[in-house]
Structure 1
Amino acid sequence: MRRPALATAGAATALAALALAACGSSNDSSMPGMDHGAKPSGSSSASVTPSVSGMPGMDHMADGSGLADAKDGYRLTSRDTTLPAGKQAAYRFGVTGPDGKPVTDFEVDQTKRMHFYAIRSDLTGFQHIHPTMAADGAWTADLAPLARGSWRMFASFTPNTGTGKGKDFVLSRTLTVPGTQTKTPLPAAAGSTEADGYTVTVKAELMAGVAQPLTVTITKGGKPVTDLQPYLDTYAHLTAFREGDTAFAHLHPETKVNGAHGGPELSFHAELPTSGNWRLFLQFRTGGKLHTAALTLRVG
């Protein structure tokens, strides 16, 4: 997988009309204690009126880390600004191109045309979903229950036609889950974490803006894990979000898939743009089950 280009500052106010029709989606993440342990429902249906982007608070300006809803004429649109707490819910969205029309042709990247992420503002809630698209370009992501608070929805994609053909985009919008939010302090930086009985150890000394190697080792019961199954054309998927603003980064896997089983050591290309605390989410599959491990990494 190519490393996605991160979104930069968005364009000025513009109208983007897109009739969104709902489709089913699949949630590939289930992480205990991350506010999304329940499985999402199958599919839901509804229709919404055209989306109007360019309203105050719609994240048009950003620092180049996926925190804008528009780049190079491409725009992430959605009428959903709130979703209910504690319930499975569908987030409906679309992507419009420089001509203002819905984009319907996307390249397949790591077996999917769209990678969608939901991250809570305190980095305790995380979902990585592969939504489905209707013929008119309307996407629907069925989210597992969300905790109260502020969330940011990221869409990572590569147009297969138009001026953006072959370019990687990461665009995002925010939404609110109404109710009193209980903020959880970010866990301290650590070199290892536990998930479903597995121990995930990360070795890296990262400096902001510098490409450096990052190694992940997975063990269970003190023994190396060698039965990692391919997941999204790799043995593990790794994303990071920055404390404070939830800026996005994808860490490119360098370990090649060689057969049905891999591990225990995995290599990644890491280049985090700014210093501070970043929350890493590693997803890997064993025995047909997807596991998600999270830890805090300090970038100097």
Structure 2
Amino acid sequence: MTASTRPTPRNRARAAAGLATALAFTLAACGSSGGSSHDSSMPGTHHDGTPSATAPAGHGASMRGMPGMGGAATGDGLADSADGYRLTSPHATLPAGRTAPYRFTITGPDGKVVTRFAPEQTKRMHFYAIRSDLTGFQHLHPTMAADGTWTAEPAALTPGSWRVFASFAPGGGSGEGKDLVLSRTLTVPGEATTAALPPAAQSARVDGYTVTVSGEPMAGMAHPLAVRVTKDGEPVTDLQPYLDTYAHLTAFHRGDAAFAHLHPTTPVRGDHGGPELSFHAELPTAGDWRLFLQFRTGGRLHTAALTLRVG
């Protein structure tokens, strides 16, 4: 996996300007109509607003040229080490059907456990769990002990093969200024039932909301992606900030569960987000990707899921 160096504020501004221009055309063309829709309130989908170690108020924003930019790693995340950093854990299995802690550490190029992390979208660590059939998505914010041991508390997992991801930025050393994502596989014992991946669709429904995605990303190329949120056919304009943005968008590739984070580019201005949101999409591989969009309204976090075909 390749780690990336954070762009400078000047480069971010140039990139944002280019994306804004492209998105203006995309949004004008797409409106709110879409193709088939899919009910995304699937079993096992889980999201977490649990507090964890964060930067002081406003610190995350000072590290970013614009809200949400630089908040995730590049690369596919399908390795437990990169640039000398390694994800280690004593857990090769977790029990099915009940909550159990997953503990892990990040070691640096010097072999020592890392205890300094820079905030990424207000959190020092983002932890994801996804089953091999791309069900059971969980996005958590674990807590770290003084010795550098992180503890995530995933909700009850179903039997099968899982992959867990740690997305972070070292707060010092040779990795400072880089965003990294590392992963390990995990087995949940029991009789596993594989779910078929829902077909590609432009829209998904969750908790009474309809999320419509517009754009045609090509593998390995930067491309704007537009999202529109409606409820009962009316535009939603009361999105609340979540992780310094109005929506958090994560994607996993069918077949290998490769990881991608789609960078939000919509500025945050209070509790009045929506209905249109914009993202910077750079999906490295062609094929089907399962997208998980998290957004907050009325203090409640919603997770919509849909399948996106990438050419």
TM-score by length of 1: 0.81
Secondary structure in structure 2 of the residue aligned to 1:208: coil
The match for 2:171 is 160
Q: State the Cα RMSD in Å.
A: 2.0
Gaps of 5+ in 2: 6-39, 52-73
* Contact 1:87–1:145 (8 Å) recurs in 2: yes
- Kept in 1, the 8 Å contact 2:49–2:140? The answer is no
For the 8 Å contact 2:264–2:279, the answer to whether it is kept is yes
Does the Cα contact within 8 Å between 1:40 and 1:88 map onto a contact in 2? no
**Is the 1:36–1:146 Cα contact (8 Å) retained in structure 2?**
no
CA distance in 1, matches of 2:231, 2:250: 22
Is 2:94 aligned against 1:78?
Answer: no
**Equivalent residues in 2 for 1:5-24 (5 A)?**
5=4
Q: Quickly say closer, same or farther: Cα 1:299–1:38, change in 2 above 3 A.
A: closer
Q: How many angstroms apart in 1 are the aligned matches of 2:221 and 2:203?
A: 22
Counterpart Cα distance in 2 of 1:38 and 1:200: 17
1:230 aligns with 2:213: no
Quickly say closer, same or farther: Cα 1:5–1:145, change in 2 above 3 A: farther
Match of 1:146 among 157, 165, 168: 157
Q: Does 1:249 align with 2:260?
A: yes
Question: Counterpart of 2:44?
Answer: 35
Determine helix, strand or coil for the equivalent of 1:65: coil
Which sections of structure 1, spanning at least 5 residues, go unmatched?
Answer: 7-30, 43-62
Query: What residue is the counterpart of 2:293 in the other structure?
Result: 282
Match 1:100 to one of 90, 99, 111:
111
TM-score normalised by L of structure 2? 0.78
Number of residue pairs matched by the alignment:
253
Alpha-carbon shift at residue 38 of structure 1 (Å): 9.7
Aligned partners of 1:162, 1:252: CA distance in 2, in Å? 25
Cα distance between partner residues in 1 of 2:41 and 2:216? 28
Counterpart of 2:196 in structure 1 is 185
Contact 1:152 1:173 in 2 (8 A): yes
Q: Which 4+ runs in 1 deviate beyond 2 A?
A: 31-34, 36-42
- Mapped to 2, the partners of 1:168 and 1:36 lie a distance apart of 26
Instruction: Note the C-alpha offset of 1:33.
Output: 2.4
Is the alpha carbon distance of 1:69 and 1:147 closer, same or farther for their aligned partners in structure 2, counting shifts above 3 Å? same
Candidates 110, 114, 117, aligned match of 2:128: 117
Distance 1:68 1:41, change over 3 A: same
Counterpart of 1:161 in structure 2: which amino acid?
G
Residue 34 of structure 1 deviates from its aligned partner by 3.5
Q: Which of 220, 226, 229 is equivalent to 1:218?
A: 229
Alpha-carbon separation, structure 2, partners of 1:230 and 1:41: 15
Could you say which residue in structure 1 is the equivalent of 2:37? none
Give the 3 Å change call, closer, same or farther, for CA 260–40 of structure 1 in structure 2.
closer
CA contact (8 A) 2:237 2:275 kept: yes
38 and 299 in structure 1: CA distance in 2 versus 1, 3 angstrom threshold: closer
